[in-house]
Chain A
């Protein structure tokens, strides 16, 4: 089953490069997404077997993150279908400057996005730390051409930063891998292979000093990829310059996968009795990220960059939640689900707004509600969802995290956390509401509207899911979230 999950996107990627017909290629993309999601859902019922001496195995955290990735990819594939059709006919101009550009060939786009899915799947099923590293670096390489889909110098600059910063970061995680091997080596005997379960079983025998060093390097290495401040510098550029559907995938799926890398190392550390050391670091990085993002969200002039900084904020909340531990771990896992859904929805809606207004500048967009009512409602709903307003899921997960903080008596952190969230709320509400309301610009020509069903339905579906997780979490999902939380030292 795992093999099928990995091979389907790879085969699809190869097919996309061979096939000459655009429509056929887009259909392949959707078929891939549907079958991948179908297999993932089957994996909820039937536990897939292990492969290669337990190197590849779908454990609970893997299953959770695989499901997030797969469902998002499904939504994105439908969106991409409409997006590619729209891109093929519209005139291409850099919004910020008077310059024209071309797109990368659609075959490369489709092949890379499918390869991206394959590498992210590999991240979620890898139990061997070396293999995990290989998969993580591969996600960077598969997604770099996607960021450079619009071939102009702004996206090129973003791609270069993404490639270099992430590659160097991940190289440091490789050093962390080696440290972990040393930690697992006992004098005058064969060392343990760095497979997750074997390491957890050997927990108390590991060399603590080297293990701590390994965690530091993992945190810095994969933290770069995950977008924890101050290592996040590639993130706003890449998210704002990539096509919106790619931003949705980067933000909703890739950041989570990188977080999974850190969680794997955290599992080993807590087996060795070093959970507190790691939690302190996670709380620190989490708070820095949330605060840093808040500063940049205030007065941000570009609405896609604003969404990108909001991603920095939310990965900070993920790290903070796991760092607090206990009940907050469940909250963090729920938050990973909620944030992915809400952020993907927002990025897709932002893509639709760009298609109508041809600008990414916040103040040039007015009156979405009267120009495109559905998009306007989605934009407002997305804003409410992402800032954690009650009927939506993020409220529940943030509330769970704050509750755990107060239960532990960490009032200071709770107050700081809520204060920063309030600042973010104020900063985002000004931008979002101004964009949605007001009279429409007179010189705006709304001629080529995007292919409606394909670009509107996926964000609506995601929005409905975001709402559902706020009102009712299905028992299957909450069971999985609880078992994931218990695996990483919470409940």
Chain B
């Protein structure tokens, strides 16, 4: 869980898109192990199977798709984000403290499996949203979306426990297709505009 926090902070401070993709991949793998860790490595078929699906999707499939898109793109770096890297990290730290405070005040019906998981999940959600609004590149926004989903997922695993398999798989499938479609859209944006700066997508107004 500390690892999740670290990956979020690194994402806030990194400018190279390739490195960002790798960090998100690492985060996905960590998330895949989360249900196992929280259940004390209880090797139930349902849990193990699910971990494998998550790791293969979030750790392998998404980064592969995004990397493939990245190779097609003209840019490798996020230059001049709306909010600088230093300030981003400071904002991240403040958000982390706030999340800790917030989750210490929430009433939970059941004792939690781990006291850290809720603030970490909230922090991951916050980081995702922050990435989406503060960065210009379409690719970083997709990464932000993935981080946001990771955070929501971590929250779900921690509190909800066992959802029906079908719903879980449906959610994963949706995210998979979303990343796929966004990848294609980015490819087209790059071809039409020769860049993926979303702040210049501003022809449609009022």
Contacts and interface: CB of A to CB of B under 8 A. Distances in A.
A437 B105 CA distance: 64
Contacts of A156: 185, 188-189, 192
A175 B204 contact: no
Given A134-B171, A160-B138, A164-B141, A145 B152 contact: no
Interface stretch (A177-185, A382-390, A399-407): A177-185
B170 A160 contact: no
Interface string A220-243: 000000000000000011001100
Interface stretch (B20-28, B34-42, B153-161): B153-161
A164 B156 contact: no
Q: Which of A148, A154, A157, A241 lies at the interface centre, i.e. has the most chain B CB atoms within 10 A of its CB? A: A157
A308 to B, nearest CB: 11
A160 B148 contact: no
A240 B164 CA distance: 39
B203 A182 contact: no
A187 B203 CA distance: 53
B177 A168 contact: no
Given A171-B149, A182-B108, A296-B206, A134 B167 contact: yes
A131 B170 contact: yes
Q: How large is the interface on B (under 10, 10 to 19, 20 to 34, 35 or more residues)?
A: 35 or more
Interface stretch (A136-144, A274-282, A417-425): A136-144
A160 B201 contact: yes
Q: Which of A185, A193, A207 lies at the interface centre, i.e. has the most chain B CB atoms within 10 A of its CB? A: A185
A160 B109 contact: no
A187 B182 CA distance: 41
A100 B188 CA distance: 16
Interface string A151-179: 11110111111011001100100110010
Contacts of A469: none
B171 A181 contact: no
Contacts of B206: 296, 300, 305
Q: Which of A131, A153, A163, A178 lies at the interface centre, i.e. has the most chain B CB atoms within 10 A of its CB? A: A178
B181 A144 contact: yes
B170 A171 contact: no
Contact of A178 (B138, B155, B178, B201): B155
B198 to A, nearest CB: 7
A164 B140 CA distance: 12
A141 B170 contact: no
A153 B191 CA distance: 10
Contacts of A48: none
Given A156-B185, A171-B145, A182-B109, A161 B171 contact: no
Contact residues of A: prevailing secondary structure: helix
Given A167-B145, A175-B155, A178-B159, A141 B174 contact: yes
Nearest to B108: A182
B167 A128 contact: yes
Given A134-B170, A168-B145, A181-B160, A160 B204 contact: no
A259 interface: no
Nearest to A300: B206
Nearest to B155: A178
A138 B206 CA distance: 28
A141 B178 contact: yes
A141 B181 contact: yes
Contacts of A266: none
Contacts of B164: 128, 130, 193
A442 interface: no
B181 A163 contact: yes
Interface string A311-337: 000000000000000000000000000
B132 interface: yes
Contacts of B109: 182, 185-187, 207
Interface string B170-194: 1101100110011001001100110
Given A145-B181, A160-B185, A168-B148, A154 B204 contact: yes
B125 interface: yes
B110 A175 contact: no
A353 B132 CA distance: 38
Nearest to B179: A167
A159 B187 CA distance: 13
B174 A130 contact: no
Contact of B203 (A154, A178, A186, A188): A154
Contacts of A130: 163-164, 167, 170-171
Contact of A185 (B110, B193, B204): B110
5 contacts: A130-B163, A134-B167, A156-B192, A171-B152, A178-B155
For the complex of A and B, the 10 pairs showing the least CB-CB separation, nearest first, are: A130-B167, A134-B170, A137-B174, A157-B201, A153-B192, A237-B204, A181-B160, A185-B109, A178-B156, A141-B177
